[in-house]
Amino acid sequence: MNATGFKKKSLGAAYTDHGYKNLKRAVVEYKVFLERLSLRNVSMIDRHAMPAAKFKDPFFFNGSLDQRKELLKTLCNSANALKLTVNEVLWSENEYKVFFKWSIRLEKGMAGLEGVSEILFDHHYMIVAQDDYWDSASTVWAAHPLMRWLFNKGKKRIFQSI
């Protein structure tokens, strides 16, 4: 166990090896999806998340899967060289919860944004909830007027349908 109280490699003893392998596979597949994110494959999130899944981040609270897709599309459209990297995966004592520590960069040579996602899977190893934690104002590029404009534009596109 690390300083945060989360295990890096294994889950609680009550969790079966078979269940752990299935969850581990689902986590690795979702990680690969995020790291290969592009405008062409945004819709592939359906393979990882339940239709009723809820997503939270600084853009919206209790957002739907469709809103998440729109946010990902906006992110892909606003970047010339999108690079999303999952730097670390932490396993919770709750057998179906994992944490991704990630970083994202929109342009080569530009400062990035770092954050953490708390992801809850169901017993079918599909995402039912994801909470993203990051502070856009804490980075140099997010405070830049052009980036602030891009974030606001994305926010407006997502909420116009609500």
More confident call, 35 vs 93: 35
Confidence label for 81 from pLDDT (cuts 50, 70 and 90)? confident
The residue whose two tokens read 């853009």 is 59
Question: What CATH number should be reported for the domain holding residue 47?
Answer: 3.10.450.50
Q: Which residues pair with 103 in a beta bridge?
A: 85, 114
Task: Please report whether residue 9 resides in a domain.
Answer: no
Task: Please report whether residue 68 resides in a domain.
Answer: yes
Task: Please report whether residue 10 resides in a domain.
Answer: no
pTM for the model: 0.73
pLDDT in tens, 95-104: 799 999 998 8
Distance CA 45, CA 71 (A): 12
Q: Which residues pair with 129 in a beta bridge?
A: 54, 120
Task: Please report whether residue 5 resides in a domain.
Answer: no
- Cβ–Cβ < 8 Å for 112, 100: no
Q: Average model confidence (pLDDT) for the chain?
A: 79
Res. 9: pLDDT tops 70? no
CA of 20: how far to CAs of 28, 34, 151, in Å? 12, 21, 37
pLDDT in tens, 115-131: 899 999 999 999 999 99
Q: Which domain holds residue 62?
A: 17-159
Instruction: Quote the crossing angle between the two packed helices 145-159 and 65-77, to the nearest 10°.
Output: 150
